[in-house]
Chains A and B, each alone.
Chain A
Amino acid sequence: MMNLLTQPVGLSHYLAVSAVLFVCGFLCMATKRNILGVLMGIELVLNGANLNFVAFGSRLLRGGTSDGLGLDGQAIALFVIILAAAEAAGALAIALNFYHTHATVDVDRAEELKG
């Protein structure tokens, strides 16, 4: 345990954390019946991807500036954050509309378009 705490942390550890976040978001999207729970799963997945971008672009983890994503990783992470905000706003508006018209937030009840 002390060995774990004194070893330097590399890129793989960040990738492992983002993998856990991604899988948690995936499970959230797959199993939640509340439409807002599905939205929270999407947020978790986007955060996992963001952590990957930032870790690959980090100077501390990749050493110098010659390799790795560098500033591109941070810029793409910013874009992902902004797009996630836009996606949350749009999806939440759709969810509220669904709640107003159907009086439920259960995604299994949204079956009007089912063939």
Chain B
Amino acid sequence: MDAVNWHTIFFWLFAMLACGFAVGVVVTNNIVRMACCLVASLGAVAGLFFLAGTEFVGAVQLMVYVGGTMVLLVFGVMLTARGPFVSMQTGGGQWILATIIGGALLAVLLQAAFSVPQWMAPKPLVPQAAPAPTAATLGLALMGVRVDKLERPDPVLRKGMSGYLLAFEIISVHLVVVLVGAAYLARAKRALGPRPIGLGGRSAPPLGAAQK
């Protein structure tokens, strides 16, 4: 018997957790349980990122996704989960149709994933005990300097490997604009009905509005 392959064992553990909780998100109708299952599934995916050797992306996944995005979603669930909205049933016909389409899609994707023989088993790593840190090179790439492929022999290809400074800036501005827009959209309204447009001006606030 071969030696115990810890990478494989932890891969199966995290893969089972991720897939199982993802299926749990689909099959349950309770919105609170869906949120809990989604947190567990995203955490297991972060474990898979660590196993793939990309520890910085795994840490970002844990902090931004599980720590930030899921807090946002759970707040949305808490703000809206009352009465009939906690558990909403889906019709049987929709389930049958979705299962057929989803099963066909899964069959195609799995067949594609296992169709390339070079992807089945990893190539043997030459420097076994040399885990390269990825955070520094990743940060430099985001700043526009690529230091990870300097040894590439072809100078033409080496010239094309610029960094990600422009994409980084665009995404930063995008995030700021989206968050400001979200804060503007989600501010609390007092009336439940649709408000007439044009009457909500800020020019003359009524007395007592400042104490709100």
Seen from chain A, the residues whose Cβ lies within 8 Å of a Cβ on chain B are 2, 4-17, 19-28, 30-34, 36-37, 39-41, 43-44, 47, 50-51, 54-55, 57-66, 70-71, 73-75, 77-79, 81-90, 92-97, 99-101, 103-106
- With beta carbons under 8 angstroms apart, the residue of B19, B26, B179, B189 that contacts A89 is B179
- With beta carbons under 8 angstroms apart, the residue of A17, A22, A99 that contacts B79 is A99
A40 and B149 contacting across the interface, CB-CB below 8 Å? no
Digitize B96-125: 1 where CB-to-A-CB distance is under 8 Å, 0 elsewhere.
001101100110011011101001111111
In whole angstroms, how far apart are the Cα atoms of A88 and B163 in the complex? 27
Seen from chain B, the residues whose Cβ lies within 8 Å of a Cβ on chain A are 1-5, 7-9, 11-12, 15, 18-19, 22-23, 25-26, 31, 34-35, 38, 41-42, 45, 48-49, 52-54, 56-57, 60-61, 64-65, 68-69, 72-73, 75-77, 79-80, 85, 88-90, 94-95, 98-99, 101-102, 105-106, 109-110, 112-114, 116, 119-126, 132, 134, 137-138, 141-142, 146, 148-149, 152, 164, 167, 171, 174-175, 178-179, 181-186, 188-189, 192-194
Smallest Cβ-Cβ distance to A99: which chain B residue: B80
B8 and A95 contacting across the interface, CB-CB below 8 Å? no
Contacts A47-B45, A71-B138, A81-B65 given; does A20 touch B192 at CB 8 Å:
no
A89 and B38 contacting across the interface, CB-CB below 8 Å? no
The 16 listed contacts between A and B (C-beta, < 8 Å) are A10-B121, A10-B122, A15-B112, A17-B19, A19-B109, A20-B19, A21-B41, A30-B94, A37-B34, A39-B73, A43-B69, A70-B148, A82-B175, A88-B72, A90-B178, A96-B80
- Residues in B neighbouring A13, C-beta threshold 8 A: 11, 15
- With beta carbons under 8 angstroms apart, the residue of B5, B15, B34 that contacts A5 is B5
A44 and B98 contacting across the interface, CB-CB below 8 Å? no
A23 and B64 contacting across the interface, CB-CB below 8 Å? no
Determine which residue in B88, B98, B113, B189 has the highest number of CB atoms from chain A within 10 A of its CB, and name it: B113
B122 and A84 contacting across the interface, CB-CB below 8 Å? no
- Residues in A neighbouring B48, C-beta threshold 8 A: 14, 17, 51, 54
